[in-house]
Protein backbone atom coordinates (compact mmCIF):
# COMPACT_ATOMS: atom_id res chain seq x y z
CA UNK A 1 0.00 0.00 0.00
CA UNK A 2 2.83 2.41 0.84
CA UNK A 3 4.44 1.78 -2.52
CA UNK A 4 1.18 2.58 -4.27
CA UNK A 5 0.90 5.85 -2.35
CA UNK A 6 4.49 6.84 -3.16
CA UNK A 7 4.00 6.06 -6.85
CA UNK A 8 0.71 7.98 -6.92
CA UNK A 9 2.26 11.05 -5.25
CA UNK A 10 5.22 10.95 -7.62
CA UNK A 11 3.03 10.80 -10.72
CA UNK A 12 0.72 13.49 -9.34
CA UNK A 13 3.68 15.80 -8.69
CA UNK A 14 4.75 15.46 -12.32
CA UNK A 15 1.43 16.78 -13.57
CA UNK A 16 0.18 18.98 -10.73
CA UNK A 17 1.99 22.09 -11.91
CA UNK A 18 1.16 21.77 -15.61
CA UNK A 19 -0.37 24.71 -17.42
CA UNK A 20 -4.03 24.29 -18.28
CA UNK A 21 -4.72 25.41 -21.85
CA UNK A 22 -8.21 25.62 -23.26
CA UNK A 23 -8.73 25.12 -27.00
CA UNK A 24 -12.01 27.03 -27.16
CA UNK A 25 -12.01 30.83 -27.10
CA UNK A 26 -15.71 31.11 -26.21
CA UNK A 27 -15.36 29.11 -23.00
CA UNK A 28 -12.18 31.03 -22.18
CA UNK A 29 -14.00 34.34 -22.60
CA UNK A 30 -16.62 33.16 -20.13
CA UNK A 31 -13.93 32.12 -17.64
CA UNK A 32 -12.22 35.49 -18.03
CA UNK A 33 -15.45 37.27 -17.13
CA UNK A 34 -15.86 35.03 -14.07
CA UNK A 35 -12.30 35.33 -12.74
CA UNK A 36 -11.32 38.79 -14.05
CA UNK A 37 -8.13 37.61 -15.77
CA UNK A 38 -6.63 38.71 -19.06
CA UNK A 39 -6.65 36.07 -21.80
CA UNK A 40 -3.48 34.87 -23.48
CA UNK A 41 -4.40 33.26 -26.80
CA UNK A 42 -1.62 31.46 -28.64
CA UNK A 43 -1.93 30.56 -32.32
CA UNK A 44 0.30 27.55 -32.98
CA UNK A 45 0.79 24.57 -35.27
CA UNK A 46 2.19 21.06 -34.72
CA UNK A 47 4.85 21.59 -37.41
CA UNK A 48 6.11 24.88 -35.88
CA UNK A 49 9.55 24.53 -34.22
CA UNK A 50 9.26 27.82 -32.31
CA UNK A 51 5.84 26.75 -30.96
CA UNK A 52 7.43 23.52 -29.76
CA UNK A 53 10.23 25.48 -28.10
CA UNK A 54 7.73 27.69 -26.29
CA UNK A 55 5.75 24.67 -25.06
CA UNK A 56 8.65 22.38 -24.18
CA UNK A 57 11.17 24.90 -22.84
CA UNK A 58 9.78 28.35 -22.03
CA UNK A 59 6.39 27.29 -20.63
CA UNK A 60 8.05 24.65 -18.41
CA UNK A 61 10.10 27.27 -16.51
CA UNK A 62 8.68 27.86 -13.03
CA UNK A 63 9.01 31.65 -13.40
CA UNK A 64 6.97 31.55 -16.62
CA UNK A 65 4.34 29.24 -15.08
CA UNK A 66 3.98 31.66 -12.19
CA UNK A 67 3.57 34.63 -14.55
CA UNK A 68 1.07 32.70 -16.70
CA UNK A 69 -1.05 31.87 -13.64
CA UNK A 70 -2.48 35.40 -13.90
CA UNK A 71 -3.98 34.60 -17.33
CA UNK A 72 -6.68 32.45 -18.86
CA UNK A 73 -4.84 30.40 -21.47
CA UNK A 74 -6.19 29.32 -24.83
CA UNK A 75 -4.25 27.64 -27.62
CA UNK A 76 -5.56 27.63 -31.17
CA UNK A 77 -4.16 25.10 -33.65
CA UNK A 78 -4.17 26.92 -37.00
CA UNK A 79 -4.12 23.61 -38.90
CA UNK A 80 -7.71 23.11 -37.70
CA UNK A 81 -9.25 25.92 -39.74
CA UNK A 82 -12.66 25.56 -38.08
CA UNK A 83 -11.14 26.34 -34.67
CA UNK A 84 -9.60 29.69 -35.69
CA UNK A 85 -11.68 32.52 -34.21
CA UNK A 86 -12.72 35.20 -36.66
CA UNK A 87 -11.24 38.70 -36.41
CA UNK A 88 -7.72 37.78 -35.30
CA UNK A 89 -5.09 38.29 -37.98
CA UNK A 90 -1.68 36.64 -37.85
CA UNK A 91 1.30 36.34 -40.18
CA UNK A 92 2.83 33.21 -38.73
CA UNK A 93 3.10 31.10 -35.63
CA UNK A 94 3.46 31.36 -32.80
CA UNK A 95 1.38 34.50 -32.42
CA UNK A 96 0.25 35.64 -28.99
CA UNK A 97 -2.87 37.75 -28.48
CA UNK A 98 -3.63 39.36 -25.14
CA UNK A 99 -7.38 39.85 -24.86
CA UNK A 100 -9.79 41.38 -22.40
CA UNK A 101 -12.88 39.45 -21.27
CA UNK A 102 -14.78 40.67 -24.36
CA UNK A 103 -12.17 39.36 -26.79
CA UNK A 104 -10.75 42.80 -27.60
CA UNK A 105 -7.05 42.71 -28.45
CA UNK A 106 -4.97 44.52 -25.83
CA UNK A 107 -1.64 43.54 -27.35
CA UNK A 108 -0.21 41.16 -29.91
CA UNK A 109 3.21 39.51 -30.25
CA UNK A 110 4.32 37.67 -33.35
CA UNK A 111 6.96 34.99 -32.84
CA UNK A 112 8.39 33.26 -29.84
CA UNK A 113 10.46 34.63 -26.98
CA UNK A 114 12.96 33.49 -24.42
CA UNK A 115 12.08 33.26 -20.73
CA UNK A 116 12.92 36.81 -19.55
CA UNK A 117 11.49 38.52 -22.64
CA UNK A 118 8.28 36.50 -22.33
CA UNK A 119 7.88 37.30 -18.63
CA UNK A 120 8.43 41.01 -19.33
CA UNK A 121 5.74 40.88 -21.99
CA UNK A 122 3.33 39.14 -19.59
CA UNK A 123 3.97 41.69 -16.85
CA UNK A 124 3.16 44.59 -19.19
CA UNK A 125 -0.32 43.28 -19.98
CA UNK A 126 -1.40 41.49 -16.78
CA UNK A 127 -4.15 42.99 -14.66
Q: Where are the domains positioned within the chain?
A: 19-125
- Is the confidence at residue 13, as pLDDT, over 80? no
CATH of the structural domain 19-125, one choice from 3.40.50.300, 3.30.1600.10, 3.90.1150.180, 3.40.30.10: 3.40.30.10
What's the pLDDT tens digit per position in 36-80?
Answer: 999 999 999 999 999 999 999 999 999 999 999 999 999 999 999
Q: List CB contacts of 29: < 8 A, sequence separation 6 or more.
A: 39, 99, 101, 102, 103
pTM listed for this prediction: 0.85
Span 14-31, average pLDDT: 84
Amino acid sequence: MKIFLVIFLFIYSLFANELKWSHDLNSTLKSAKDNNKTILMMFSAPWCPECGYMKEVVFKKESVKEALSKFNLVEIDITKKESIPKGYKYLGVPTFFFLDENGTILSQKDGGAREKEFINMLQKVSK
